[in-house]
């Protein structure tokens, strides 16, 4: 954690463990807030046990600071894909959204530090109706008090879903930031299209289905950089990451529109204008339009 790091707080029902190696929340807006605010390597997030005896079964956890974690905020994942099936069937459905925990430590205890003794002001934020299930922050002296607490590092065995996502991020670490951002944006759009269409799945290969960034993100970056060499698959012009021109915005297009799969064989990256024009007027008219633009009509040769 860096000297300017922030200390975030999240109410939880129990201790971090291999069976629940993530931070989960009921509202997607909480994840969106963390995506904007939490910086791995700079910040930490503290687990604060709830006072609800029905949820927080261990009395030693209730109202206590029980763990410190580093999360991966770049993507909101599905809790059911990370936690054990037993936990999901009993508790998980209440918190469908999650972020992967990359590193974790447990506070020394029991007895664990009492939240109202260490962070009284921040702890009171959890009682506010508008902040139920949300995130609080320890600042000033309370931040310093949290940072002074003794901890013991925990060796987490990450779920395959989380490990795959971490591996993907590592494999594309040399990809320019502008392309990474475009790939993430296109992957999010694909997932939303599928969900809005009434299905919860995206076929990514013959053996696996999931609206899963660990499948879509590397596929899109590979298509952009390797398969297409940074060129639009329809017109052959340069793909421009981060452009403000909506016509030139990179777009993930299904090659065969009758095939609902967004998979390796059926996706390429185009300019948005090329994508829309081909879909509206058909491939033949689109290619004739390109010929006219280039000024080299093969019919006259």
Q: Is the pLDDT of residue 200 over 70?
A: no
Q: Tell me which of 12-26, 92-106, 157-171 is least confident.
A: 157-171
> pLDDT band for position 212 (50/70/90)?
low
Q: Are 25 and 97 in contact (CB under 8 A)?
A: yes
Q: Is the pLDDT of residue 82 over 70?
A: yes
pLDDT score for 208: 35
More confident residue, 211 or 153: 153
Q: Is the pLDDT of residue 236 over 70?
A: yes
Q: Is the pLDDT of residue 52 over 80?
A: yes
Whether pTM > 0.75 for this model: the answer is no
pLDDT score for 49: 94
Q: Is the pLDDT of residue 248 over 70?
A: yes
CB under 8 Å to 238, separation ≥6 — which residues? 230, 231, 232
> pLDDT band for position 274 (50/70/90)?
very high
pLDDT score for 33: 87
Q: Is the pLDDT of residue 204 over 60?
A: no
Q: Is the pLDDT of residue 92 over 70?
A: no
pLDDT score for 42: 92
Q: Is the pLDDT of residue 97 over 70?
A: yes
> pLDDT band for position 165 (50/70/90)?
low
More confident residue, 28 or 92: 28
Residues 102-154 pLDDT 10s: 899 999 999 999 999 999 999 999 888 777 778 999 999 999 999 999 999 99
Residues 54-70 pLDDT 10s: 889 899 999 999 999 99
pLDDT score for 214: 61
Q: Tell me which of 132-146, 160-174, 181-195 is least confident.
A: 160-174
Q: Is the pLDDT of residue 37 over 60?
A: yes
Neighbours of 179 (CB within 10 A): 19
Average pLDDT, the chain: 84
Secondary structure in 3-state letters for the chain? CCCCCCEEEEEECCCCECCECEEEECCHHHHHHHHHHCCCCCCEEEEEECCCCCCCCCCCCCCEEEEEEEEEEEEEEEHHHCCCHHHHHHCHHHCCEEEEEEEEEEECCCCCCEHHHHCHHHHHHHHCHHHCCCEEEECHHHHHHHHCCCEEEECCCCCHHHHHHHHHHHHCCCCCHHHHHHHHHHHHHHHHHHHHCCCCCCEEECCEECCCHHHHHHHHHHHHHHHCCCECCCCCCECCCCCCCHHHCEEEEECCCCCCCCCCCCEEEEEHHHHHHHHHHCHHHHHHHHHHHHCCCHHHC
**Please, what are the domains in the chain?**
7-157 (3.10.590), 175-294 (3.30.40)
pLDDT score for 206: 38
């Amino acid at each position: 954690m860096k000297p300017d790091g922030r200390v975030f707080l999240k109410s939880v029902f129990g201790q971090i463990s291999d069976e629940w190696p993530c931070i989960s929340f009921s509202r997607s807006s909480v994840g969106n807030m963390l995506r904007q605010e939490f910086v791995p390597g700079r910040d930490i997030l503290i687990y604060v046990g709830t006072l609800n005896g029905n949820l927080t079964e261990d009395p030693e956890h209730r109202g206590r600071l029980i763990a410190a974690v580093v999360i991966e905020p770049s993507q909101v994942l599905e809790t059911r894909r990370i936690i054990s099936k037993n936990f999901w069937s009993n508790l998980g459905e209440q918190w469908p959204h999650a972020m992967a925990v990359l590193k974790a430590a447990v506070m020394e205890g029991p007895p664990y530090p009492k939240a109202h003794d260490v962070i009284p002001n921040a702890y009171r934020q959890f009682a506010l109706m508008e902040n139920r299930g949300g995130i609080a922050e320890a600042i000033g002296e309370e931040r310093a008090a949290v940072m002074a607490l003794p901890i013991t590092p925990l060796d987490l065995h990450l779920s395959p879903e989380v490990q795959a996502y971490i591996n993907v991020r590592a494999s594309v670490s040399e990809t320019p930031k502008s392309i990474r951002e475009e790939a993430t944006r296109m992957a999010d759009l694909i997932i939303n299209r599928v969900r809005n269409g009434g299905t919860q799945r995206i076929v990514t290969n013959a053996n696996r289905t999931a609206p899963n960034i660990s499948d879509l993100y590397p596929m899109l970056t590979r298509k952009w950089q390797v398969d297409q060499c940074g060129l639009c698959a329809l017109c052959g012009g340069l793909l421009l990451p981060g452009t403000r021109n909506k016509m030139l915005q990179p777009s993930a297009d299904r090659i065969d529109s009758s095939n609902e799969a967004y998979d390796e064989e059926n996706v390429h990256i185009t300019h948005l204008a090329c994508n829309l024009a081909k879909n509206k007027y058909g491939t033949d008219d689109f290619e004739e339009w390109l010929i006219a633009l280039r000024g080299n009509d093969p019919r006259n040769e």
